[in-house]
Structure 1
């Protein structure tokens, strides 16, 4: 199976996992009604389910209540996904291809939320020693891990190996 096909399958699997997790949170757990469920507390660290409707982008930046805000953000995300698809077709290694697949799958998952709800469903909340990470979802985790893999590849793989991998 070609790298790009593996990456697209990975993107599709992440998209399904993201949408299923959001369906479960909204329809089974009904987190919007409860708002907060402690899941795991290990000393000063913990993991909770906390309902947040993210109307912005990463970490809530550019959030707004305007009628068109969610559509503009969704269209920007789709444009980024299209750019990443083009990059994917030129991917040199499995790591780069799968990382791009992760970012694409995550971006599309959040775009679906914006079109359906006007906001992204965030619900995973990690905290420790008085420090609290932003509430996120499966798509966000895929995007962050994909970007970290792309950065690591750019920093670690020698230039000569880049050309050989193609």
Structure 2
């Protein structure tokens, strides 16, 4: 299979997202020992706190059984393969980068599920007592990737210059 022009860069970006995501999680779990720290204020609107997410986005579809855990791993694997194929064929740079962000995040969260049985979430945004859900770098990459995909879709098929490289 011949890769579309933005595919190589996008696959490298996906790998970089994966590596940085896993490095932060390893640091949070084993170096900083976030589990024993509780909620750690970092900025007036940002704290670190360890949450084990056994579900999908926003903690939906919580899976407490081994069957549920491994079913979500299968979904991660299938989705990651499909996204990799899509990246290889994608000609729009914005969409290819969006897919790379999604892929890097999905693989990072999928590995968490394999290694720990749940996704490691640690970032909490808040405004006073009003809190948002706890997330990680992989989640942020996935959200940014979806936004870029939507941008690419709304923008159209792209210019002839972008398609040619």
Assess same fold via TM > 0.5. Answer: yes
* Cα distance in 1 between the residues matched to 2:18 and 2:31: 19
**TM-score of the aligned structures, taking structure 1 as reference length:** 0.90
State the 1:92 CA deviation: 1.4
Taking the TM superposition and a 5 Å limit, the aligned residue runs for 1:42-121 are 46-121=45-120
Matched position secondary structure for 1:92: coil
Partner of 2:153: 154
Q: Deviations over 1:105-143 (max 9, x none)?
A: 100000100000000000000012543211000110111
- Please give the root-mean-square deviation of Cα atoms over the aligned residues, in Å: 2.0
Could you tell me which runs of 5 or more consecutive residues in structure 2 were left unpaired when the two chains were aligned. Answer: none
Return structure 1 stretches of 4+ with deviation > 2 angstroms.
Answer: 158-162
Size of the aligned set, in residue pairs, is 161
The structural deviation recorded for 1:81 is 1.2
Shift of 1:82: 1.1
Whole-Å Cα distance in 2 between the matches of residues 92 and 159 of structure 1? 9
Aligned position for 2:22: 19
Inter-partner Cα distance in structure 2 for 1:72 and 1:132 = 30
The correspondence for 2:39, drawn from 32, 36, 40, is 36
Counterparts in 2 of 1:108 and 1:158: CA distance versus 1, 3 Å:
closer
| TM-score in terms of structure 2 length | 0.90
Distance 1:36 1:66 in 2: 27
Change (3 A) 1:160 1:151: closer
